[in-house]
Structures are given as C-alpha cells and as structure tokens.
C-alpha cells in the first residue's frame, strides 16, 4: 500500500511540475465583432487554471489599432459602391475583407492579386471599382499585417508562452494563420494549437479545405475539434495518441464535461469596457438534432446546468465585473428558460439576460422581468 501511495504521489508531483513549466497563451484574433468577451478561451482558461496551469487570454478585437483598420477598410470600400447595392453592408462586406486578408497572405503575382480583389468586390456588391480604391484597400491590409506582426511579437516576448492556442472563427482565420506561422518561425519550441468554431463549417471534418490546411500549414502542430476543455487538458498531459495532428471527442471516447463541476469563465485578462454585454452559458449542445446544425457535432450530448447554478454564476460575474447585461450563448434557451425565469424571479439582484429562443411561454418570461429580447 505504501508503494502504491508513493507512486501516486510521485505521479501527482510530476503533473504539478509539468503544469508549472507550461505557460499557455490563448487568443482570439481579428476580425470578430466584440459583442461580448470570447467565451471559449475564457472557459478554457478557468478550466486549465483549476488544474494548475498558468494561462493568459488575449482578444485583439478590442484593441484600437485593429478597430481603426477595420473602420478605415470599410469606409474606403463603401464610397464607390452605390447605396442600393450596399444591402447589409458590414455583414456581407466582411466576406470581402476576410477573403482579401487570405489573398494577401498567399499571392505571388500582384496583377492576379488585383484581379482577384476586383472579382471579390463585384461578386459581393455587383459593382466594379477602380484601381485607385483597390490599391487603397491593399495598402490598408498590408498595414494591418504590419500592426499585427508588431503587436504579436511584443505579446510573445512579454508572455513567453510554451503553448499558443488560438480560437479560430471564419473572420479570424487569416490573422490566425499569420500569427501561428510567426510564432513558430520566431520560437520553434512553442506548441501551436488551433481550435474554435471554424471547424463547424468552413473547415469541417472531411472537407477538402481541412485537408488543404493540414498540408499548407505545418506550423500548426495540433487541431482540437469540438469541446475543448478535456481535449486540451489531455493534450497538455500527453494523454492523446502521439502521432495525430487532429483530435476530436472521438479520441476520448466522446467524454464531455460535467457542467455541474465547471467554474465561472475567467475574463480577468480582457478589457471588458470594449464589449456591449457579458458572456455566459447554461447548456451545451442541443436536444434537437436538426441536420443543418453543427451544435451536436461540436459539443456532443446535450447537457445543462441547474437554474440555481446559472443564477449563482451570473451573480458571481456581476459582482466580479459589475456588468448587468448578459448574453447566454446556448444554441437554444428553450430547454432551460422556464426554470431559469422562475429562479431569476426569486433572485435579489438585477441583471438583464438575452439569448436565442423559439418563441414560447412568453407570459412567464415577461413575468420574470429579466429577458430583454428574444431572437
């Protein structure tokens, strides 16, 4: 018994020592609308810290130098486009920006680059724009990458991470690829890990785009697809198959997080003045299995926190950060909304919560006095 106890103690000490040696930098790069703090990296930060790791989180979307680039790009793009062609300008225009950022990373012939940009604008807004505007847009994108390089090098020098994990969404893919490559070039020992919502659609498992990414981006060591906490922890502990680059819930027997044990997201590294609302969640996945939706693919089986737990977590976040406006990021609030409305009706603090709902039982929600709007 003494031998077994000593072995367990030695294993525990080894894990703790490894935890202290790792410095993990988690990030969300431009461009993603900073409606609320990035919940993914904030949840992983709190989870890994609970297991003894040193973690820093960064969201570059609230930094003024990148917000200014975003605004200047769209102001330049807007001028030559007729008013009746603009439609939902910033929403559809983001397709132009993201594709332009990707084209800049990979072009070798400037003339082809210009022609591609013309096509991107025309197919989005059905408008031909002159080369003077195109060159202005190209100059802005070039400046963006220059600013990103300076900022990211400074960040790496300051934080000295051994692990770089970026949560990647469609809008942030070009900047993330650029930053992964930069980190690996300057500091080859850094382990680079990519996760995020990009794997729900654009880089879905089995897609040719995912295969192309694996081929063209050797500077990304590991891809984590799906719910990240347990996968990331097992990756750090060396408990995943060694020869793989891509890991999903299948690699851990579809094991998912017990939501009754989670701690509140850690937003302490972020500039919360840069967001309209605070982020939170009450459930993961979805009890419905719509074929067009990726929620069950990403999160596995449906789980929900108790209404009491959710109210206590929001109370903690309110007391910790002072924000009264909350967006619950659940796929649908319907499975928890009734219990949550009843629990909030009994609470003694004032917040306003929001989320995605099928319209149902409106009287009870209104009586709870908390829900601001329904989407």
248 touches 322 (CB < 8 A): no
17 falls within a domain: no
21 falls within a domain: no
Please indicate, yes or no, whether residues 127 and 231 belong to a single structural domain of this protein.
Answer: yes
Please indicate, yes or no, whether residues 214 and 123 belong to a single structural domain of this protein.
Answer: yes
Please indicate, yes or no, whether residues 213 and 302 belong to a single structural domain of this protein.
Answer: no
- For the chain, strand residue ranges (E) read 23-28, 54-59, 163-167, 191-195, 222-224, 246-247, 278-280, 283-284, 303-304, 325-328, 352-355, 371-374
Count Cβ atoms below 10 Å from residue 262 Cβ, excluding itself: 18
Give every residue of the chain whose pLDDT is below 70, as ranges: 1-20, 359-375
287 falls within a domain: yes
Q: Are strands 325-328 and 23-28 parallel, antiparallel or unpaired?
A: unpaired
| Domain count within the chain | 2
179 touches 152 (CB < 8 A): yes
The residue among 258, 292, 321 that closes a domain is 258
Please indicate, yes or no, whether residues 246 and 133 belong to a single structural domain of this protein.
Answer: yes
DSSP structural state of residue 306: -
Burial label for 168, CB within 10 Å (0-12, 13-18, 19+), is buried
Please indicate, yes or no, whether residues 159 and 304 belong to a single structural domain of this protein.
Answer: no
Separation of alpha carbons 306 and 308, rounded Å: 5
Please indicate, yes or no, whether residues 325 and 232 belong to a single structural domain of this protein.
Answer: no
Separation of alpha carbons 246 and 90, rounded Å: 33
The residue among 224, 258, 292 that closes a domain is 258
Please indicate, yes or no, whether residues 99 and 47 belong to a single structural domain of this protein.
Answer: yes
Count Cβ atoms below 10 Å from residue 133 Cβ, excluding itself: 16
Query: Which residue range forms the structural domain that includes residue 209?
Result: 27-258
pTM value?
Answer: 0.88
Could you tell me the strand order of the sheet in which 325-328 lies? 278-280, 325-328, 352-355, 371-374
pLDDT at 5: 44
Separation of alpha carbons 362 and 338, rounded Å: 10
Please indicate, yes or no, whether residues 242 and 281 belong to a single structural domain of this protein.
Answer: no
pLDDT at 292: 77
pLDDT at 76: 96
Q: Could you write out the three-class secondary structure of 234-272?
A: HHHCCCCCCCCCEECHHHHCCCCCCHHHCCCCCCCCCCH
8 falls within a domain: no
Please indicate, yes or no, whether residues 44 and 172 belong to a single structural domain of this protein.
Answer: yes
The residue among 258, 291, 323 that closes a domain is 258
Q: What does the block give as tokens for 315?
A: 């109370």
127 falls within a domain: yes
Q: What is the pLDDT of residues 161-170, one digit of tens each?
A: 999 999 999 9
Q: What is the CATH number of the domain that holds 335?
A: 3.30.750.210
Residue 341: closest CA among 329, 331, 330, 352? 352
Q: What is the pLDDT of residues 96-143, one digit of tens each?
A: 999 999 999 999 999 999 999 999 999 999 999 999 999 999 999 999
Radius of gyration of the chain (CA): 22
Separation of alpha carbons 85 and 124, rounded Å: 9
Please indicate, yes or no, whether residues 108 and 160 belong to a single structural domain of this protein.
Answer: yes
Please indicate, yes or no, whether residues 82 and 171 belong to a single structural domain of this protein.
Answer: yes
pLDDT at 21: 79
307 falls within a domain: yes
Length of the chain: 375
Please indicate, yes or no, whether residues 135 and 248 belong to a single structural domain of this protein.
Answer: yes
DSSP-derived 3-state class of residue 128: coil
15 falls within a domain: no
DSSP secondary structure string, 146-201? HHHHHHHHHHHHHH--SEEEEE--GGGHHHHHHHHHHHHHH-TTSEEEEESGGGGT
Residue 114: closest CA among 94, 93, 100, 95? 100
């Amino acid at each position: 018994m003494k031998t077994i106890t000593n072995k367990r103690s030695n294993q525990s000490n080894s894990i703790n020592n490894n935890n202290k040696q790792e410095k993990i930098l988690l990030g969300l790069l431009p461009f993603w609308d900073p409606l609320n703090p990035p919940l993914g990296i904030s949840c992983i930060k709190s989870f890994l810290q609970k297991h003894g790791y040193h973690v820093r989180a960064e969201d570059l979307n609230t930094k003024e130098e990148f917000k200014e680039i975003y605004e200047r790009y769209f102001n330049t793009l807007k001028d030559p486009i007729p008013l009746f062609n603009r439609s939902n300008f910033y929403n559809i225009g983001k397709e132009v920006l993201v594709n332009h950022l990707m084209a800049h990373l990979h072009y070798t012939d400037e003339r082809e680059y210009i022609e591609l940009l013309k096509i991107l604008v025309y197919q989005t807004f059905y408008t031909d724009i002159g080369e003077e505007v195109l060159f202005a847009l190209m100059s802005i994108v070039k400046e963006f990458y220059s600013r990103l390089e300076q900022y990211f090098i400074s960040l790496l020098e300051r934080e000295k991470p051994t692990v770089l994990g970026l949560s990647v969404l469609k809008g942030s893919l070009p900047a993330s690829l650029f930053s992964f490559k930069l980190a690996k070039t300057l500091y080859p020992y850094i382990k680079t890990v990519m996760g995020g919502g990009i794997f729900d659609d654009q880089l879905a498992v089995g897609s040719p785009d995912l295969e192309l990414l694996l081929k063209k981006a050797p500077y990304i060591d590991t891809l984590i697809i799906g719910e990240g906490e347990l996968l990331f922890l097992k990756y750090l502990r060396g408990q995943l198959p060694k020869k793989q680059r891509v890991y999903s819930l299948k690699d851990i027997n579809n094991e998912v997080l017990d939501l009754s044990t989670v701690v509140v997201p850690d937003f302490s590294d972020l500039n919360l003045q840069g967001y309209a609302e605070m982020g939170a969640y009450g459930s993961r996945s979805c009890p419905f299995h719509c074929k067009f939706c990726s929620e069950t693919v990403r999160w596995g089986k449906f789980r929900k926190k108790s209404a009491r737990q959710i109210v206590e977590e929001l109370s903690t976040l309110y007391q910790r950060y002072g924000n009264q406006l909350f967006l619950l990021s659940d796929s649908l609030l319907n499975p928890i909304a009734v219990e949550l409305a009843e629990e909030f009706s009994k609470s003694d603090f004032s917040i306003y919560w929001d989320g995605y709902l099928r319209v149902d039982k409106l009287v009870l929600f209104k009586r709870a006095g908390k829900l601001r709007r329904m989407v």
